[in-house]
Structure 1
Amino acid sequence: MPLFYFLGGLTFSRRGGFKAFLARKAKTLLIPYYIFSLYFIAKPLAVILIPSLSSTFHSSHDYGNAGRQLFKVLIMGDGLWFLMAFFVGEIVMYGLTSLFETTFSMWTGFCS
């Protein structure tokens, strides 16, 4: 996982403006996050739709609170948290690089 973040930082690019950046990051990080989250929510969703299935699953999970488990996976990032964290990190990095670029260009303009 550290290699994932390291390589992501090496390939960081702000091209195309913020709207294009956000769309690109949503497509490459959030869509895979939600698609692979389907794997983590398959059993809880099945228990919500067909409650009698909870007794047939031989697992240590408590499927009595399947709604809470759906919230944890889809909103809180349980399981694939690193994709959501990387998305948020990329947005923060975009803001920081924009701020530093503006500050640096303003500073160099005063020094000339």
Structure 2
Amino acid sequence: MRNFVFFVSLRSNVPFVLKEALRMVENGHKVSVFFDLDGARVLDKNYVKVRKRNHNVDLDILLQNAVDKGIKLFGCQMNVLIADGLELIDGAELAGVVTFLEKAYEADAVLSY
């Protein structure tokens, strides 16, 4: 089993990252996904309506599948692009740079999108 960490800064990359993360978990790997900057918007409960309009896939289903499969989803606690802060979807948690670094140092690979 290998350990992978994805770092997502653009929400347009989220469908690809989640599909790839799900594929990796199905192959027996451990996966964590950190969302920062624009990418963190997809974890925000207030972004639900925009998620449904702006992507060609149902991100709600992908996010729920990720949570159900044990993929750890982290939203940056210091996200400056979301004025009111993040109100995270169920199954995601806030994390800072220390958490990211801990996961990154333990990982076999860190992939940035």
State the TM-score, normalized to the length of structure 1: 0.24
Bigger radius of gyration: 1
Q: Which has the higher contact order (CA 8 A, sep 6+)?
A: 2
More strand by share: 2
State the TM-score, normalized to the length of structure 2: 0.24
